């Protein structure tokens, strides 16, 4: 067992603050590369023009320090906390919320968090949604994922029967994308978790969105399903902005896990093309 390492809550808050700004202003390099690749291969002239505008938008955002999208997201924060880390000087989740508060204020990001019934805005984009996982080691790994509402609203969880099997999974993914159509700002990215339980499948679907576009899934069964689903989804013809084209989806990330003998859980997290995430290790 390693020695205990101290990480200060103020450093966590400062890091979250910085990552909120970077995430909302700078489109990740893998997303940019995927949009460029799609622009070259897209058959629809309107589709090509929209992809070009999205790339132009990312350039303007970076140059002018403007958010890529006015929906600067609900701040979802993933933390892999090394079991040999001791957080001092404050509480972990409060430090994250403090970072979100400062990051959204200082970078002129939209505050998009409200009470579910009164719809009263909390005014500082908190509370963040924080997922902590205890892992080996003495590091604290943070990911800030501002999640937009338009694509989140198109996401689904299905509890399929074992009889529905792999074909049922494919059908539900396709149905979800078809039903969403232009709504979630295509080209989209899909996080697809199969197996596990109701609650945890949704979390794995979201976590899989942290993967780099174009990266190979180490699980060959999942890798093969990713290729198949991507082709199926792009055959819908929904296209960029839903105006028709061959680029409906930039990537599918599949996560397969064992489940109960009675169940076949399936969670589909839909992500828009403004697939923002930034990470840091403390």
Q: Which residues form the interface with other proteins (CB under 8 A)?
A: 43-47, 50, 53-54, 56-58, 60-61, 64-72, 108-112, 119, 121, 123, 148-150, 153, 181-185, 235-239, 241-246, 272-274
* Strands 249-259 and 188-196, bridge-based pairing: parallel
Nearer to other proteins, 98 or 107 (CB): 107
Residue 56 CA to residue 78 CA, distance in Å, equals 30
* Strands 188-196 and 264-271, bridge-based pairing: antiparallel
Token duo for residue 84: 């040999």
Least separation, in Å, of the C-beta of 72 and other proteins?
Answer: 6
Least separation, in Å, of the C-beta of 245 and other proteins?
Answer: 5
Nearer to other proteins, 211 or 273 (CB): 273
What is the sign, positive or negative, of the torsion defined by CA atoms of 79, 279, 227, 186? positive
Least separation, in Å, of the C-beta of 101 and other proteins?
Answer: 14
Nearer to other proteins, 52 or 256 (CB): 52
Least separation, in Å, of the C-beta of 211 and other proteins?
Answer: 20
Least separation, in Å, of the C-beta of 21 and other proteins?
Answer: 12
* Contact partners, residue 237, CB within 8 Å, separation at least 6: 244, 245, 246, 248
Nearer to other proteins, 4 or 29 (CB): 29
Strand partners, 146: 75
Nearer to other proteins, 43 or 91 (CB): 43
Residue 238 CA to residue 169 CA, distance in Å, equals 20
Nearer to other proteins, 267 or 274 (CB): 274
Least separation, in Å, of the C-beta of 22 and other proteins?
Answer: 15
Number of residues that make up the chain: 282
Q: How many CA atoms lie within 13 A of 169 on its CB side?
A: 21
């Amino acid at each position: 067992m390693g020695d205990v390492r101290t990480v200060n809550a103020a450093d966590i808050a400062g890091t979250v603050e910085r990552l909120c700004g970077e995430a909302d202003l700078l489109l990740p390099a893998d997303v940019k590369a995927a949009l460029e690749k799609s622009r070259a291969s897209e058959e629809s002239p309107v589709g090509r023009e929209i992809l070009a505008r999205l790339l132009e938008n990312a350039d303007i955002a970076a140059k002018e320090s403007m958010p890529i999208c006015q929906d600067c997201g609900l701040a979802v924060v993933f933390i892999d906390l090394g079991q040999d880390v001791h957080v001092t000087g404050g509480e972990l989740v409060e430090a994250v919320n403090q970072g979100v508060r400062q990051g959204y204020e200082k970078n002129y990001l939209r505050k998009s968090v409200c009470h579910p019934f009164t719809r009263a805005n909390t005014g500082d984009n908190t509370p963040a949604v924080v997922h902590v996982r205890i892992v080996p080691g003495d590091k604290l790994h943070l990911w800030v994922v501002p999640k937009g509402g338009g694509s989140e609203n198109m996401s689904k969880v299905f509890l399929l029967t074992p009889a529905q099997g792999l074909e049922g999974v494919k059908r539900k993914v396709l149905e979800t994308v078809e039903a969403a159509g232009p709504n979630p700002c295509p080209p989209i990215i899909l996080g697809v978790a199969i197996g596990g339980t109701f609650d945890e499948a949704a979390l794995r679907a979201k976590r899989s969105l942290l993967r780099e576009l174009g990266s190979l899934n180490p699980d060959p069964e999942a890798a093969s399903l990713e290729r198949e689903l991507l082709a199926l989804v792009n055959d819908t013809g929904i296209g960029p902005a839903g105006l028709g084209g061959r680029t409906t989806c930039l990537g599918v990330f599949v996560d397969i896990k064992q489940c109960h003998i009675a169940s076949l859980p399936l969670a589909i997290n839909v992500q828009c093309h403004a697939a923002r995430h930034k990470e840091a290790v403390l």
